Structure 1
Amino acid sequence: MTLPLRILMPLLFWALGLAHAVAAEPSGKVLRVLAWPGYADPEVLQGFSQRTGARVELTVVGSDEAMRQRLLSGRGRDFDVFALNTAELQQYIDQGIARPIELQRVPNTRRQRPRFRELSAIPGLIRRVDGLTQVYGVPYTYSEMGLIYDRRQLSAPPDSLQVLWDPRWRGKVLAYAGGTHNFSLAALALGWQQPFELGERQWAPAVDKLVALRRNVLGFYSLPEESVQLFMRHKVALMYANYGLQQLHLLKAAGVDVGYVIPREGALAWLDCWAISSSTGDPELAHAWINFMLEEPASSLLVSRQGLANTVSDSVASAPQVPLRWLEPVESEERREHYWARIHSGDSPSRVLQR
């Protein structure tokens, strides 16, 4: 998954991937952190430095591709701890770049909501190695991909993904431009239990569903800011919120009267976790960082500044009774994106499926 601007950037230079260091009392300790903009604001870094006496070197990336380049080029040797989504985490476990996390060193996991303490229920966080269960990620922040609607145009909140295909809203719907996520969206709308692993017989109905979506929407967006501009300029009624709570935060900040719901079919959701590099020279300090990030002010700033959810408090926009489908690696990103390019360009279903 690529989420190049998932959260608001409090400092412009962070988007350029520059390192930001926070001074601390000299102790000889240095913690090298790789994360997304807004995940560790300056006062958070200062608080950690004051507590541990360590100097924090923070490097910020704006896309999964940039993170891969940083981690894979040095085999993780340039960082002690990093934040990434559960789907991306798999390759770093497989390549030995991420090391197991010792949860007894992260006691603040007890502060997390129950759904984030049940690690076995979240794909990608644990592995069984030689009969032992090993944990490779501690949940930090997440967002569901729900539905945003204009309260002035819809008298009641929509309760199903099928509203995106409702002809009453033709030309008043925005959807996301990414093919990988859109095939998972189609799978949920079709009632399939496994949206990340399409069988050979499922491709044709999924393509039909997405062609129908293309015909019903005003257009497709790539970035959250772009979606907000389109929503306001064209008086959009409904939007599939690939960036979830961040888009809701941006629209409300712009003064738009919008609501946010999780449809009854459930929702795709990305979950970012803290992981520890297998090359870290100070595992104790790396564990201390993860533990600190589950406290204040880090957790509350995710909500107040970034419009995201944290894992230690309930999100006002979440619907706990509705299942979330945490992103997983898909059967073929290449095939999904290839078909999506044809759908987006206006091809008919039969042409899309031509090899």
Structure 2
Amino acid sequence: MALLVFFAPARAAGTLRVLAWPGYAEAEVLREFEQRSGAKVELTIVGSDEALWHRINARGGADFDVFAVNTAELQRYIQAGLVQPVDVGLIANTRKQLPRFRDLAAIPGLVHRRDGRAQTFAIPYTYAEMGLIYDKRQLPVPPSSISALWDPRLRGKVLAYDGGAHNFSLAAQALGSGSPFRLASAQWPRAVDKLIELRRNVLGFYSQPEESVRLFQRHGAALMHANYGMQQVQLLKAAGMDIGYVMPREGALAWLDCWAITRGARDRKLAHVWIDTLLAAKASELLVTRQGLANTISEALPRQPEQAPLWLEPVEDAARREALWQRIRSGDRAAKVLAP
């Protein structure tokens, strides 16, 4: 009894509710956090930015304590008041991050001025470029452009990600419409037509990396837009697929995912312990060795240095992109997609 009383204050109680992407929180990492904090983890996996938004926004952030989100999407949560500032001083492992990730003010969207002072709203965790994965047997010459997704010779052989924000950006790239994140009023009809063409060309759309691997294998796909980047490359190679990975000449969209704390977090200190644990050596190593993703404490996996990534930016109207995409996805014609 005396021992129990002595050790009890060092251990936290309760459950930390985490919303994350596939592969972000391995079983070993969950055990490390639970041993360190004494708390349990309730982990929920999400497969799209829109699903993430609905989960957090459903009850004003009350259903989760901490979640992973890219820097562009983070701005929606800040504007809606769904996240609270992070106390970097409580996260010791940020000191182990590479200099470019420690300079939070230099990363667009992480630091905002509130109440007359600069406040940090998320901590960098992992990142990837969204290139093109191709089957070397079917495509001995690597694709060079994002337009390959629309190649009529590949009809029924293409896989694409099931997400409105990114797909409208791909359409803008294929059309040469300037910034893929800012569609002007006159560009929407052309972008819708382009995505209807994409729908007709693909064999299917995926949400999670493991799902994309199953579809790629089962249906003999030749080409895939890799929303999860090297994570999918590693999974396909582990499955014995002879694939290549290239960045399109238009530039590959790229995301930087961070950990943020919800406004409704039940234990703010515990949320900081989670972020600190995920920046530790074990979690960071597993991102690379098991998931094929980059971490923020060691240099990235090799990639084509001549290809400058197009880091995601907040789009002009995320809700409109997703609503139109769902109509396109369901098979509507252009006139119906664009109808009020």
- Report TM bin, short chain: 0.7 to 0.9
Q: CA deviation at 1:329?
A: 4.8
C-alpha RMSD of matched pairs (Å): 3.4
What residue in structure 2 maps to residue 189 of structure 1? Answer: 174
- Tell me which amino acid in the other structure corresponds to 2:327: A
1:29 pairs with one of 6, 9, 12: 12
Q: Is the 8 A contact 2:91 2:273 kept in 1?
A: yes
What residue in structure 2 maps to residue 56 of structure 1? Answer: 39
Q: Deviations over 1:73-106 (max 9, x none)?
A: 6655676543333344334433444222233443
2:118 pairs with one of 133, 139, 142: 133
Q: Deviations over 1:161-194 (max 9, x none)?
A: 1222334434432223333321111112233443
* Equivalences, count: 328
- Tell me which amino acid in the other structure corresponds to 1:60: L
What residue in structure 2 maps to residue 93 of structure 1? Answer: 78
Q: Deviations over 1:293-351 (max 9, x none)?
A: 2121011112233343322233436445412322535414235533552476263x556
Cα 1:257–1:65 change in 2 (3 A) is same
TM-score, normalised via structure 2 length: 0.79
Q: CA deviation at 1:118?
A: 4.7
Q: CA deviation at 1:219?
A: 3.8
The separation in 2 between residues aligned to 1:281 and 1:215, in whole angstroms, is 46
The separation in 2 between residues aligned to 1:95 and 1:215, in whole angstroms, is 36
- Tell me which amino acid in the other structure corresponds to 1:322: A
Is there any run of 5+ residues in structure 2 with no aligned partner, and where? 1-6
Cα 1:123–1:190 change in 2 (3 A) is farther
SS in 2 for 1:256: coil
What residue in structure 2 maps to residue 309 of structure 1? Answer: 294
What residue in structure 2 maps to residue 334 of structure 1? Answer: 320
Q: Is the 8 A contact 1:35 1:58 kept in 2?
A: no
The separation in 2 between residues aligned to 1:57 and 1:236, in whole angstroms, is 40
Cα 1:191–1:319 change in 2 (3 A) is farther
Cα 1:317–1:56 change in 2 (3 A) is farther
Is structure 2 residue 241 aligned with structure 1 residue 233? no
1:291 pairs with one of 276, 280, 284: 276
The separation in 2 between residues aligned to 1:77 and 1:210, in whole angstroms, is 35
What residue in structure 2 maps to residue 145 of structure 1? Answer: 130
SS in 2 for 1:275: strand
The share of aligned pairs that are identical, in percent, is: 54
SS in 2 for 1:60: strand
Is there any run of 5+ residues in structure 1 with no aligned partner, and where? 1-24
SS in 2 for 1:341: helix
Q: Is the 8 A contact 2:324 2:338 kept in 1?
A: no
